[in-house]
Chain A
Amino acid sequence: MSTTKRSTKFAALAVGLAMVVAACGDDSEYTTATTAAAVETTAAAAETTAAPAPDTTAAPETTGAPAAEAAMRITVDINPDAVWEDGSPVTVADFECTLNAAINTPGSISTTGYDKIIGISAGESDQQVVIEFSEVYAPYKGLFGSLIKAASVEDCNDISTDFADFNGTSNTEWLMDSWSPSQLVYVPNPNYWGEAPKVERIVMVPFADGDTQNAALLAGEVDFIYPQFYAGISDALADPNVTSKVEFGGDYEGFYFQSDPSRGGPFSDPIFREAFVKSIDRDAVFEQIYIPLSEGKGKLLNCGPIVPGPYCNDAWAEGQFDPEGAAALLEENGWAKNADGFWAKDGGEAPTVRWIINTGNVRRENTQAFLIPLMQAAGFNVVADNCDAACYFQQRLPSLDYDMAMYISTAPPDPSYLVPGFTCAQIPTEANQQQGQNSTGWCNEEASAKLEESDVTVDEAARAALIKDALTLMAADRVMLPLFQFPKAGFWRTDKLAGAVDGQLNNYNAFNNFSEWEDADGDGQIIIGAEQWPECLNPVTECANSSWMVWTTAFPISQGVWETTNEGTYQITNLVAGEPVVEVL
């Protein structure tokens, strides 16, 4: 069987399930990496609209154009034992299908990275995959995190109508037995080549809200839950039979200040922005909002839009809260307090700062209630300007229609998401059809250059240095204010569950190691509660734009080349025979 060497024809786009998987946030949260990917997807609609493609995306469909020179090549050897649930081997065709599905399926949510692939071909056998990239792509480990079985779909170029309510394919320990809007059942995959799971049945059930779910755990109706953390949750789940483990993963919350000069908001004036940020008492917010939430376990986040780890240099640690400095700075630059007690420049009108959050989020509403009076007392006219989650995350933020925002981002272990999120070229403009992903409007040429360079730098140390430099510049420009690395926790019943339940509770994988759990009460099944329930099981469309969808219906039955560990690093799975060979050409 020969696999065609495809050229730029599909180089335009591909879906990055791996990216989403790594980046999965809550439906209601702003998922940096996913939305970053979404830019490119939408921009690449150029495929059919004939509008000029933005410079960030690969060229649109140009059939017959000569294949570009490959700049990087990855060779993957598939484990010879690796088979699908029907016993057929995993081959290069499945890799190709995964790529094509993403490229051409309408509504695919992420193409980041895949758009740089110019060819997939079989090497020595069809169990050796050779992937060629148009340019060096440093975060390549985020690709092919979840394979799509080529034989399971009619047309790999459009799988939007596949897997609507069932996905019977599997290359892992588990097989989906049934799925319905109220229940999901997994049974062991008899053809799995690795170690068999210790439980006969895994059942997942949705709960409409956290309180119902908590009550169900206390009542013994579910064995394990993975709830959204909030102040008081430990008190709510205080029971001798319930235990928990708290982890700090890739979720972080922060304030963001929309500073695009061309949009002319109050923060496009760097002086005003600096004074404003210097007037925010971050410690007070931390003590009032986050200490109760984490029960004292968390710390103030000083890394910027990234969590502690190899790329963090604590650039926000020093000199942030300085009210006297802020007042002095404003006065030096011609600002004075007006009759209402608000700062105004040269006798003009005092700027109004529109602070947006999604309505119904108690923690953010509390933060507004706490901070707005303090900011008003400091002379800044801050008003709440909130709307529901869809309006906030899908309209207002992407169109930069706000002055100050507060949201959680879910960072994948790799910092490549910073490039679409914080570079000049990604500010939504006419040139990129308003599809840029830089939702703060921050443009610092020097920082942008460093971030873009980091994307094509494979050397880890050099890459980390570039990212840290960019973060230092960002801190100095006061475009965002990191607050808190958000805790993630699993709660489970010790009378019903044993084994490595606490093994992988970080948000990268959630509870994905349940094949290692043991059924302590011997009822033959483990029941896991889900806070959100997928509407559909398609792994590349909007269906997959939710961490819960991925945790409940994608991870358990599909693996790829690399997986994320609980510590936020990548490791190869048993689908491949060994560490893939990466060559920079």
Chain B
Amino acid sequence: MTDLLHPSAPSNDGADALQGLTSESLSPTKLAMKRFMHHKGAVVALVVLAILMLIALLAPITARYGVNETVFKTSAERPNYNLPPSSVAWLGTDDIGRDLYSRLIYGLRVSLLIALVSAVISTLLGVSIGAIAGLRGGRFDDILMRVTDLFLAFPFLVTLLLLRSVLASVSWLEPIVGEITSIRFVIVLFGLTGWMVVARIMRGQVLALKEREFIEASRALGASNTRIVMKHLIPNSIGPILVALTFSVAASIVSEATLAFFGYGPQAGDGATSLGILVAGSRGALLPGYWWLVVFPGVLLVVTTLCVNFVGDGLRDATDPKLDMGGK
């Protein structure tokens, strides 16, 4: 929804960040670190997120069962399905007797993979589009930003669904995007739909920076646009870009869950699972009262997204001193 589209509040236009970075005596990085540490929520979130990522990364060790392994063979006397939390399955079992705890770990792993890779893709895309628009300027910039605005404002789920069906219909794209139900496909899809916010931020940065002396100087020395972008613009915009990247990760996690909820996510059959698939699967468990199947996936999804959002918030405060001033 709206929140996904405008994760950064209006005051965080890239241009603002610049002042903070240059007007203090401490080195920008150290200053940012210091500011980040002041944001308690962000620090706690970062720690939680690090633990979650570690658990997900070490899935073969941390998970008690395989992703599709039943906790024990079912029988009429001792059914293995829909068991509440117990010592056999810490977080209970699902409708075919699989351990929810282990599945959550594997699901988190897939969701984080999708979110991180697609966020990197969309950030790269956004940085390029924003930089080109900002540097070229003029009509070209107008058109690119108009397109960005439209993309931002169009109903997001519909954009996803339309692009999804277009990608799947063009046969020569298949080697690149993979099968429509594959994880790769979802990554490409999110990568192509998440660049707008980054593009805007990057453009703002470029516009603010490009008239400054050091850029003009290097231009006078004959540096190419690519070189200017790589050497000056990106290093000077790293803060806002990182913030956008973080929010983009959170948005991807929620998007994946939404697509899976409507049955358009990655495929579950082979055993791969994701937070989205687990949450979507919990729908039928509400009414029968299998609360563990609803609560744990839902909570893990919210906690993961929340932590990523908090880290993003902390990063933003760290790189945008203006917001912080209220506290003084």
Contacts and interface: CB of A to CB of B under 8 A. Distances in A.
B309 to A, nearest CB: 28
A366 B82 CA distance: 14
A237 interface: yes
Nearest to A369: B68
A51 interface: no
Contacts of B79: 291-292
9 contacts: A232-B95, A236-B284, A291-B76, A360-B263, A365-B269, A366-B95, A368-B269, A383-B270, A386-B267
B271 A386 contact: no
B270 A372 contact: yes
B290 A369 contact: no
Contacts of A233: 288
Nearest to B98: A369
B96 A289 contact: yes
A365 B268 contact: yes
B82 to A, nearest CB: 7
Contact of A373 (B263, B271, B289): B271
Nearest to A237: B287
B96 A359 contact: no
B283 interface: yes
Interface string A196-216: 000000000000011100110
B12 interface: no
B9 to A, nearest CB: 35
Given A362-B281, A370-B68, A386-B181, A288 B269 contact: no
B99 to A, nearest CB: 13
Nearest to B266: A359
A289 B74 CA distance: 10
Nearest to A371: B68
Interface string A214-241: 1100100000000000111111111000
Given A236-B287, A386-B269, A370 B70 contact: yes
B63 interface: no
Given A296-B76, A359-B181, A372-B68, 4 more contacts: A211-B284, A230-B284, A234-B288, A362-B95
Interface of A: 209-211, 214-215, 218, 230-238, 284, 287-289, 291-292, 296, 355, 357, 359-360, 362, 364-366, 368-370, 372-373, 383-384, 386-388
Contacts of A372: 68, 269-271
Given A209-B283, A214-B287, A215-B287, A288 B267 contact: no
Interface string B272-309: 00000000010111111110000000000000000000
Contacts of A209: 283
A288 to B, nearest CB: 5
B97 interface: yes
Contacts, number: 99
A565 to B, nearest CB: 32
A369 B268 CA distance: 8
Contacts of A368: 269-271
A404 to B, nearest CB: 12
A364 B96 CA distance: 11
B81 interface: yes
Contacts of B73: 284
Nearest to A360: B263
Contacts of A289: 96
B269 A231 contact: no
B269 A362 contact: no
Contacts of A287: 74-76
A387 B181 contact: yes
B145 interface: no
A232 B82 contact: yes
A232 B269 contact: no
Contacts of A369: 68, 96, 98, 268-271
A305 B286 CA distance: 35
A215 B283 CA distance: 12
A211 B286 contact: yes
Nearest to B287: A236
Contact of B81 (A210, A292, A296, A364): A292
Contacts of A387: 180-181
Interface in B76-116: 76, 79-82, 95-98
